[in-house]
Structure 1
Amino acid sequence: MKSPSPPRLLLGILFMLMAGSLFPVMGGFAKLLGQEYSSLQISWARAFGHIVFLSALFLPRYGLAIVRTKRLGLQLFRSCMLFTSNACYFFGIGFIPLGKAAAISLAAPLAVALLAWPMLGERTTPARVVALVCGFIGVLIVIRPGTALFHWASLFIVASGTAYGIYQILTRRIAGIDPPETSALLSAVVGAFGMLLVLPFVWQTPDSWVDLGLFLGVGVIGALGHYCVAHAFGYAPANVLSPFQYFQLLGSVFIGWLMFSEFPDATTWLGAGVIVGSGIFIGWSSRRAVKTVAGP
């Protein structure tokens, strides 16, 4: 198979960096809204905006065929995991800094590597097991359980990263069964429509046009971010893009400093470095294993 050309690789990296810039802004908007509104209402706005944006993008081209799936149950479970991830994250950042939350969320690729064997049958190696252990030690360094600096909301960010890891694994399982456009659209269906059963109990009408704009921004920016990720993987392979996914940490630190005067301490940076290093090693070793099996 012919390798992507340098311009296409650069375009893929550019899209990944754009996503890494958009998601922290979405998080900043959600944190602002979380000071007055339920995280469930914010999560609904995130999912509903996703549905509206992608429907406007895909329906004129594909029609109603875009919602047809061969694995409805799997798609709904996948959508449930994405909603769980968003809801836990939006709740958690109401109590802890964005940079710290982003550092903990970096454990999602570690969760993928851990769960890939029981869920996908992908074999692991001793080196990757060591990297996984180091990565989770990095998470413990960031959240610091048992110390005065530990905050229980950190556990919601851990749950968010775990749910997102399961979402990624289910996305890999559904790949090749349903078109990517269908999977992208259906990924938010549980949050957008399932939450309508709960929304009346948590709904609070936006107090101002600014709040309404923030709600719209959470949905549209989140959808744009996922759209950029999808384009990135269309231009460049995962092993090339993997290190650039961690750009989101820097974006979250910047937004946290700009909007909330938050800045991670040295221990958080240390833990984040351990997590990033472990994730990059797992991605590199996985790619190397694939190349070894495929041959030169």
Structure 2
Amino acid sequence: MSSVAAPSRPHRPLFAIGLRLVAVICLAVMFVTGRVADVHGVHLVETLFYRQALALPVVFAWLAMSSGIGAIRTRRISVHATRMVIGLTGMALNFLSYILLPPAEATTIGFTMPIFGTILSALILREPTGIHRWAAVLIGFLGVLIMVRPEGGHFPPMGVAVAITAALVTASVSLVLRELGRTESAGVVVFWFTALSVPPLGIGMLFYGQAHDAQTWGLLLMIGLFGGIAQLCLTAALRWAPVSVVLPMDYSSILWTTLLGWAIWGDWPMWTTWVGAALIIASGLYIAWREHRHARRIATA
């Protein structure tokens, strides 16, 4: 009996890299704008609410045009709710890290997410983690120590702690996404994360919502729109190329946040930040490369 081959997945690596790069730039603008909004008196709950509420129509319209409205049906709403709680916590911590630290430093510490992902995969999922990955983890943490220089007092300890916790929580989101990815498309995951987070944030708005001037409303609009565009581009990029191809674009965010921080506040990273960033990025890329090789070996077997 003959079998029908499954249609091959489209592969357009340059297009995927471009989408990922647009997403990274949008995220850099979103987080830096969140820091500017904080200066204008916007509460963190407001920032999160408008980030999600304004992005929801964009995500819904994209799903309706690409997969159809029926695609949002799910039988795993409890897992989506878990992903929402963890993801929203990580998003809040990420915004807060950009408020407490200069943008370049907050971005650099955020690069430790793959390092924490490796640790959590080994401890929780019991995935085999060899000496190479553990060496990469140690090099990454060495980069954090060089950048932060605890004895120098260059950065507020609270800001550093928030940024590291944000990376840890974001890494834990990846574990939930692995589980959801078995049955749900990326677009559906994005939609339910956005939709489920609006009601609890709406309750928070009853206590923290306030009136703003036109300029501040413009900042909030930017946060929502750039966040929504970033989410869609991140999702779309993976349709055209594997993670191993597009992931290196994420590290370009150090350039965009540095330029934005310099243009707005005159912040320029110290040399220790650049050295630490190089070690952390090298660690993350090596971990990604090892995972890619491991996945190829499994596929070949």
State the TM-score, normalized to the length of structure 1.
Answer: 0.92
Q: Does 1:17 align with 2:34?
A: no
CA deviation vs aligned residue, 1:237-278 (integer Å, no higher than 9, x gap): 111122121111111111111122111110111111111000
| Rounded Cα–Cα distance in structure 2 between residues aligned with 1:61 and 1:289 | 32
User: Is the 2:113–2:168 contact (alpha carbons within 8 Å) kept by the matching residues of 1?
Assistant: yes
| Rounded Cα–Cα distance in structure 2 between residues aligned with 1:97 and 1:210 | 22
Q: Which amino acid is 1:232 matched to?
A: A
Query: Would you say how many aligned residue pairs link Structure 1 and Structure 2?
Result: 293
- The aligned runs of 1:171-186 (5 Å cut-off) are 171-186=177-192
Q: Which residue in the other structure is 1:163 paired with?
A: 169
1:52 to 1:289, Cα distance in 2 relative to 1, 3 A? same
User: Is the 2:63–2:69 contact (alpha carbons within 8 Å) kept by the matching residues of 1?
Assistant: no
- The aligned runs of 1:94-173 (5 Å cut-off) are 94-151=99-156, 152-173=158-179
| Rounded Cα–Cα distance in structure 2 between residues aligned with 1:57 and 1:14 | 18
Q: Which amino acid is 1:245 matched to?
A: D
Identity of aligned residues (%): 23
User: Is the 2:101–2:155 contact (alpha carbons within 8 Å) kept by the matching residues of 1?
Assistant: no
Aligned-residue RMSD, C-alpha: 2.0
Which structure 1 residue ranges, 5 or more long, are not aligned?
none
Structure 1 residue 230 displacement after superposition: 0.9
SS of 2:100's partner is: coil
Q: Does 1:197 align with 2:203?
A: yes
User: Is the 2:37–2:219 contact (alpha carbons within 8 Å) kept by the matching residues of 1?
Assistant: yes
| Rounded Cα–Cα distance in structure 2 between residues aligned with 1:202 and 1:146 | 37
User: Is the 1:21–1:248 contact (alpha carbons within 8 Å) kept by the matching residues of 2?
Assistant: yes
SS of 1:177's partner is: coil
CA deviation vs aligned residue, 1:149-182 (integer Å, no higher than 9, x gap): 1312121111211111111221121113123221
SS of 1:176's partner is: coil
18-27 or 194-203: bigger deviation: 194-203
Deviation >6 Å, runs of 4+? 1-4
State the TM-score, normalized to the length of structure 2.
Answer: 0.90
Q: Which residue in the other structure is 1:26 paired with?
A: 30
User: Is the 1:13–1:232 contact (alpha carbons within 8 Å) kept by the matching residues of 2?
Assistant: yes
User: Is the 2:187–2:235 contact (alpha carbons within 8 Å) kept by the matching residues of 1?
Assistant: no
| Rounded Cα–Cα distance in structure 2 between residues aligned with 1:239 and 1:76 | 28
Q: Which residue in the other structure is 2:299 paired with?
A: 294
User: Is the 2:10–2:239 contact (alpha carbons within 8 Å) kept by the matching residues of 1?
Assistant: no
